[in-house]
Structures are given as structure tokens and as C-alpha cells.
Amino acid sequence: MDASAPSSPLPPVVTASGPANVAPAPAVAANPSGSNNYNYASFGRRLVAAFVDGIIVQIVSVVIVFPIGVFLGVGVGLVAGSSEGAVGLAQFLGGMMGFVVGTVVSILYYVLLIGSRGQTLGKMALGIKVVRIETGSVPGYVTAFLREMVGKFVSTISLLVGFFWMLWDDKKQTFHDKIAGTVVVRV
């Protein structure tokens, strides 16, 4: 046995993901000096990823809403008949249900995926990821909620200026990135 090597009475613990006593590397390397050398995602990549995500959210919403809407329409038709008021009620309830389901699907899709992976399916397809600007780690659920729901609301009510802000920002941050302390990088 080499005298310079420390000896341990216990063998190292190794799991399926590697040695247990080794901390995992951050998803995106951050510079310890505080200045991060990120390869920021372009506006085009982010736009196409958002388009892909929008299609996915719409498909999931329709798959959930359509059978419920058919059931609701048939139910209202059986109970109230085919009067103009019954048809109007069914359309109103169907529209409200579509709005509620679409909103819930959207919140779950964006917050869960960004919070846990830093990537939605659209971002995965385009090779980009949301990370905390200071650490390079995935945002977590609270930061993802802040970014995706609060921050994007602000980006939207600013007449969409918040989304285009990245075009002249040195870190390519939108308003929702700035609010949440995140950046979108290439992976």
C-alpha cells in the first residue's frame, strides 16, 4: 500500500450514477469569478422552441378537452334539448372548460419541465436550456413559476417588448429572465 494514499476503513460507496461522495457537476459551467461564459441561445432558437412548445400544449389541451366537451354537449342536449339557450350554454361551458384546462396544462408543462430540467420539449429539440445566471443550475420550481407565469405576464403586458428585449441585451435576457435571474443557453 502506498504511504501517501489515505486509507479508509470503509470502501467507497458507488451507485449507478457514480461514486456517492462526488458532487454532480452543474449542467452549465459557471465561472467562479462571477462572470459566466455562457453560450447564449439566439432569438431564432428561442422562438422556434416556443412555437414547438405551443403546439404541444395545444395538442395536450385538445386531447383532454375534446372528450369532455363531447360529453358536456351530449349531456346538455339530453337535459335541455336542442334549444338555442341550451346550445349557447354548452358553448359557454365548453369555452370556459377549454380556457381552464389550457391554463392548467400550460402551467404544469412549463413550470414542471423548466423547474426540474431547465428544458421544455421544444427547448430540448432546439438544444437550449434555462439556467440560473449565478450558478448555471436548473431553476427549480419556484423560480420556474416566477419566470414562466409572473415574468412572461410582465413580458406580455409590456406590449411584447419584454420578449424582444433580448435582441439588445448583452446576456440575451428577456424581462422574464431578468425577473427570475435566469438565462437561456445552448447545450
Q: What is the pLDDT of residues 75-122, one digit of tens each?
A: 766 676 666 777 777 778 888 888 999 999 999 999 999 999 999 999
The partner residues of 14 in beta bridges, in order of sequence, read 19
Stated pTM of the model: 0.77
| pLDDT-wise least confident of 7-21, 62-76, 121-135 | 7-21
Q: What is the chain's alpha carbon radius of gyration, rounded to the nearest angstrom?
A: 24
Write down the H helix ranges in 81-184: 84-117, 121-126, 141-145, 152-157, 161-164, 175-180
- pLDDT on residue 139: 98
The partner residues of 19 in beta bridges, in order of sequence, read 14
Higher pLDDT, 74 or 140: 140
Query: Which of 32-36, 62-66, 77-81, 86-90 reaches the highest mean pLDDT?
Result: 62-66
153, burial (CB in 10 Å: exposed 0-12, middle 13-18, buried 19+): middle
Selection from 114, 126, 69 nearest residue 94 by Cα: 69
